[in-house]
């Protein structure tokens, strides 16, 4: 069955594209050559942050272009980079204390609780809550809630307080991993196995699979706690 054609607007210009395409592939179908903001291309690096609105609707929506299908009368603008505040620190010289967050990212205490960051997150993360944990110096909980962040910056683009949520979360995860979590014995063991070539055949098997087979494996993977 042939795909239905829909009208989309890329940077204000109208194009007719098949409705089974993602925003990213629709841009290429329309003739755009993507050199930036395309990252891994099949979902989850956060490079293709995108803003769109459907004609006749007021809501401004956020998404990742690699995993969002086009809709009829979709007006699209990409946001491949947002200027986050990234403070410099030496993880070996800092301590997992609330004072550190106050020194490096004091703007988190200007949060007004609007929840725009959470609503904008394409990963569905409770962004405002992990910022609240960061405010209190609870880096373990901040790290847990922000674990799936892909650093796209969409949350920060919507924040009236100017908070760089992904960088705050990154600091929390680094502090948690360096100082709060126990030593990971199985990680050291796994690294040795990799160096020994124990997984070379498994990698060859993965490389021979189709995109659909890889997606099936990914979606049904077992995540260890």
Give the residue-averaged pLDDT of 6-22.
Answer: 95
Contacts of 224 (CB under 8 A, 6+ apart): none
**What is the pLDDT, as a whole number, of residue 3?**
79
Residue 142 lies in a domain: yes
Q: Which domain holds residue 202?
A: 82-209
Burial 174-185 (b: 16+ CB within 10 A, else e): bbbeeeeeeeee
Angle (deg, nearest 10), helices 165-175 and 127-135: 60
Interatomic CA distance for residues 116 and 165, integer angstroms: 12
DSSP symbols for 21-41:
SBHHHHHHHTT----SS-TTS
d(CA 43, CA 27): 16
pLDDT over 70, % of the chain: 97
Three-state DSSP class for 144?
helix
Pair (22, 74) in one structural domain: yes
- The CATH code of the domain that includes 32 is 3.10.20.740
- Residue 41 belongs to some domain of the structure: yes
The mean per-residue pLDDT over the stretch 142-163 comes to: 94
pLDDT digits (tens, 9 = 90+) for 26-83: 999 999 998 877 878 766 788 899 999 999 999 989 899 998 999 999 999 987 777 8
Compute the distance between CA of residue 48 and CA of residue 41 in angstroms, rounded to an integer.
Answer: 8
Please report the pLDDT score of residue 42 as a whole number. 66
Per-residue confidence (pLDDT) for residue 158, from 0 to 100 = 92
CA distance 140 to 163: 20
Contact 137, 164 (CB under 8 A): no
In this structure, the answer to whether residues 106 and 126 fall within a common structural domain is: yes
What pLDDT is recorded for position 132?
98
- Whether 107 is in a domain gets the answer yes
Q: Are residues 41 and 149 in the same domain?
A: no
**Structural domain count, the chain:** 2
Tens digits of residue pLDDT in 94-125:
999 999 999 999 999 999 999 999 999 999 99
Would residue 132 count as lying in a domain? yes
pLDDT of residue 1: 53
Domain boundary among 31, 63, 78: 78
- Considering the domain architecture, whether residues 74 and 87 belong to the same structural domain is answered as no
Tokens of 83: 């200027």
Q: Look up the pTM and report it.
A: 0.78
Q: Both 198 and 145 in a single domain?
A: yes
Could you tell me if residue 91 is inside a domain?
yes
135 in the same domain as 63: no
Instruction: Say how far apart CA 61 and CA 59 lie, in whole Å.
Output: 6
* 59 and 99 together in one domain: no
What's the CATH code of the domain at 100? 1.10.1060
Same domain, 128 and 180: yes
Q: Quick one: pLDDT at residue 40?
A: 80
Q: What pLDDT does 140 receive? A: 97
The structure tokens listed for 136 are: 């209190």
Average pLDDT, the chain: 92
> Is 88 within a domain?
yes
Q: Is the residue at 124 inside a domain?
A: yes
pLDDT, position 43 = 61
Assigned domain for 161 exists = yes
Question: What is the rounded average pLDDT of the residues 127-134?
Answer: 98
Please report the beta strands in the chain, taking only residues with DSSP state E, as ranges in sequence order: 5-10, 13-18, 49-54, 61-64, 74-78
Token look-up 């050559």 returns: 33
Same domain, 102 and 179: yes
Segment 140-160 shows an average pLDDT of 94
Do residue 100 and residue 199 come from a single domain? yes
Flag whether pLDDT at 201 surpasses 80: yes
Let me know whether 87 and 166 are in one domain. Answer: yes
Q: Indicate the residue among 78, 104, 125 that finishes a domain.
A: 78
Say yes or no: 94 and 177 in one domain. Answer: yes
For tokens 């007006």, the residue is: 75
């Amino acid at each position: 069955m042939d795909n239905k054609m829909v009208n989309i607007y890329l940077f204000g210009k109208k194009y007719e594209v098949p409705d089974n395409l993602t925003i990213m592939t629709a841009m290429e179908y329309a003739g755009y050559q993507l050199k930036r903001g395309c990252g891994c291309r099949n979902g989850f690096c956060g490079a293709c942050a995108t803003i769109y609105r459907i004609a006749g609707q007021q809501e401004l929506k956020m998404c990742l272009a690699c995993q969002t299908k086009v809709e009829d009368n979709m007006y699209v603008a990409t946001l491949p980079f947002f200027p986050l505040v990234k403070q410099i620190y030496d993880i070996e010289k800092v301590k997992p204390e609330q004072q550190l967050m106050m020194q490096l990212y004091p703007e988190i205490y200007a949060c007004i609780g609007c929840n725009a960051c959470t609503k904008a997150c394409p990963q569905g993360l409770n962004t405002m809550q992990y910022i609240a944990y960061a405010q209190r110096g609870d880096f373990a909980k901040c790290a847990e809630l922000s674990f799936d962040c892909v650093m796209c910056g969409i949350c920060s683009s919507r924040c009236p307080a100017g908070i760089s949520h992904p960088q705050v979360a990154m600091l929390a995860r680094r502090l948690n991993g360096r100082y709060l979590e126990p030593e990971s014995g199985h990680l050291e063991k796994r690294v040795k196995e990799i160096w020994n070539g124990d997984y070379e055949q498994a990698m060859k098997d993965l490389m021979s699979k189709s995109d659909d087979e890889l997606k099936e494996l990914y979606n049904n993977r077992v995540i260890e706690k």
